[in-house]
Structure 1
Amino acid sequence: MRASRLLSLLMLLQTRGRMTAQELAAELEVSVRTVYRDVESLHSAGIPLYGDAGPSGGYRLLDGYHTRLTGLTSQEAESMFLTGMPGPAAELGLGSAVAAARLKLTAALPPALRERAGRIQERFHLDAPNWYHGADETPHLTTVADAVWNERRLEIRYRRWKAPKEVVRTLEPYGLVLKAGHWYLVARSGENVRTYRISQILKLRALPETFTRPAGFDLAAHWKNSLEEFEARLRRGEAVIRLSPRGMERLPDMDRPALLRAAEATAEPPGRDGWTQITVPIETFEHALSEFLRFGADVEVVSPVGLRDLVAETARALVRLHDGPAGEEEIRPRRGERRRLRTGGAPAGNARNHENRP
């Protein structure tokens, strides 16, 4: 344990430069007294480690000193090979760099750790995009990434969902986020920090002027807060619905986290018919209609009345559309499907395979 901590302390100073004893203690989650003892041990072992007193003081390594990658535990070596994302790295133009870095890391490991780390690549694979949704086309991604890295302003023509449909913005790009196969740019435009989907950038020009990225900006924290605010803005109302036992069973597979959270928080005990009543957040009647139609006849809208009427009207339209021949010729079920269709079962070709599909 102490050997691992000494190596961590050394790596912190090597990567970050001068650090105070208090900063080191906070990073290593030990006391300042422990840091003093560890620094003394490293110094006694011949590490060129120096301490400066005063307000701007701290510990630092002699300029030019670097240690080789040693002291990795088996768990640390294995975890290094879980952090790579070859697909996204390639999209950013860094595919060859990631491959080279992995090769160098593998070569630096002892044979036993090299073998264990190799098993990670054989047994785990990251596939970021969601089911049934391909990754975005992002021809401007590498240019945006270069602007983020070099703190260079961008001028973009952007397509958005509300009027005006196209806008021109001058941005200070702070960071990139990959979520469910989609790339997003977090950037300042005027006084506001906004999120832009890279695939919706129609035209882009890197400007010659640079900007200074705020020192305290935390990309991960900003992204988390913006998602929470976005969801809160969308959910402007509530609906009371009833789900059949099969509807409740399907709920976790619907890929609708808000519905699942609502069911966990508001579900009442099932009634005599086995149906469960829950209260769910909704955006608009039209959006809620598309959400609830996914459940087919396994959902009943209790309120609001306007939404219930809209579902009923849509159901009646579907009945009129499907009650009778399709066009000029009636479409009949294939041989062997009549019994399943009458009893409500799915044809064998459409059966859900939980081993191969979500």
Structure 2
Amino acid sequence: MASSFEAWSRRLKLLQLLVHRGHLQTADASRALGVERKIALDDLKKLELHGVPVSPQGDGTERSWVLEESWRKMGMVVGFEERLSLLLGRSLMESFLGGTDLGEAMKKLDTQVEAMSNEGLRLEAELARRFLYVREPEKDLSAHRDTVKALVEAVVRCHRVSFLYQHARQPRDVEKVSHAAPYTLAVYKRGLYVLVDRRDVITSHAVERITELTAHPKETFQFPYASDYDPHKRFANHVGLAHDGSPPETVRLRFTAEGRPYAESRVWMPNQRVEPREDGGCDVVFEAAGLELLARVLEYGDLVEVIEPPSLRARVRDTLTRARARYTDD
């Protein structure tokens, strides 16, 4: 996996050089990439194989790889939709990843794409006023730059990691995680989490609560096949990342007539169904598991009532009772 990422990073750099110069000798490509000529030659051939109109011309020391002139003049076409997609992607991610290498990579990619486009689209300042992402409460990972960088490297290269983890609700409870396999980095609630395999048990950890992270480059792991591990399927019937091991169960949320528009405009779970009621409200029904369903329900206040499961109904009632007790003096 790591070699694939590195290879296509090199090939993107070669493509930039070809667009800029029009031609490259294998020796030039080798020096620019800092790799052996054999690897540079293979990268040039791969560009040709994947549809880039570049071909070898000449013989011996005069042989060069030449990019088709019409394609070079056209450059890397970056249309309005593509430019806007980059802007929105940066707006969503850069706010909490801005102080990390990932955040800087987003800026760099934006600059590279703009430089490769002969249209000279410098619209970001204007687009940012016309398409707004409204900031939400988010985590600041700038102080955890080294941790983020090390985790990205470990995930890509399949290196095992060890670290200390401080639990949010029990700050004094520091857990030692040893030689775990970091499978996936996940973005959730404006934060970054790592999913690790700890002896066939997948656990999630907030990056900002990880300390003393150590990567073990000599201890690699085999990234599992999709049939054995697919995070998309794993969380298909799961609300959030926190999990107590309970299986999915039927959830029925009853919205008032005033709350119905909010219920119908949101997808709680892919398997949900909406059942209209005679009083103008509706029931939203789906199968799900996850401790964070409680917070989702509380967002809607008195517009929603949990009908089932009884365990969730009890948790909502107890939470509201404790919250109400804080305002008894008013």
Decide: shared fold, TM above 0.5: yes
Cα pair 2:181 2:196 within 8 Å, conserved: yes
Deviation digits for residues 149-182 of structure 1, max 9, x if unmatched?
5554422123457998613221344554444432
- Structure 2 distance, partners of 1:204, 1:122, is 41
Report the Cα distance in structure 1 between the residues aligned to 2:222 and 2:311, rounded to whole angstroms: 48
Q: Which residue of 1 aligns with 2:65?
A: 65
The answer to whether residue 282 in structure 2 is matched with residue 270 in structure 1 is: no
Which residue of 126, 138, 142 maps to 2:149? 142
Supply the distance in 2 between the matched residues of 1:295 and 1:313 (Cα, whole angstroms): 16
> For 1:95 and 1:289, how far apart are their aligned partners in 2?
32
Q: Distance in 1 between the 2:149 and 2:199 partners? A: 24
Are 2:250 and 1:246 aligned?
Answer: no
2:139 is the counterpart of 1:131? no
Instruction: Return the structure number with greater relative CO, CA threshold 8 A, min gap 6.
Output: 2
Q: Quick one: structure 1 residues 280 and 223, their matched pair in 2 at CA, closer, same or farther if it must change by over 3 Å? A: closer
CA contact (8 A) 1:129 1:182 kept: no
Relative to structure 1, is the Cα distance of residues 94 and 65 closer, same or farther in structure 2, using a 3 angstrom cutoff?
Answer: farther
Matched with 1:336 is none
Picking from 110, 135, 154, the partner of 2:161 is 154
Structure 1, unmatched stretches of 5+, are 1-6, 29-38, 51-61, 332-358
Does the Cα contact within 8 Å between 1:240 and 1:301 map onto a contact in 2? yes
Aligned counterparts of 1:320 and 1:103: Cα–Cα separation in 2 = 54
| Structure 2 unaligned spans of 5+ | 1-14, 20-39
Quick one: distance in 1 between partners of 2:83 and 2:198?
A: 36
Identity of aligned residues (%): 15
Asked if 1:207 corresponds to 2:201, the answer is: no
2:7 aligned partner: none
Where does residue 122 of structure 1 map in the other structure? 126
Aligned to 2:249: 237
For these two proteins, the number of residue pairs brought into alignment is: 272
Task: Give deviations 1:209-256, integer Å, cap 9, x for gaps.
Answer: 253665x867xx933233226459666332444321112123367x77
In the alignment, is the contact (CA less than 8 A) between 2:160 and 2:220 conserved in 1?
A: yes
Is the contact between residue 186 and residue 193 of structure 2 (CA under 8 Å) also seen in structure 1? yes
Partner of 2:25: none
* Higher CA-based Rg: 1
CA contact (8 A) 2:97 2:140 kept: no
User: How large is the Cα RMSD of the aligned pairs?
Assistant: 5.2
Amino acid at match of 2:137: Y
SS at match of 1:245: coil
Are the counterparts in 2 of residues 89 and 98 from structure 1 also a CA contact under 8 Å?
Answer: no
Aligned with 1:170: secondary structure? strand
With 242-251 and 146-155 compared, the bigger mean Cα shift is at 146-155
The letter of the residue matching 1:227 is: F
TM-score, scaled to structure 2: 0.56
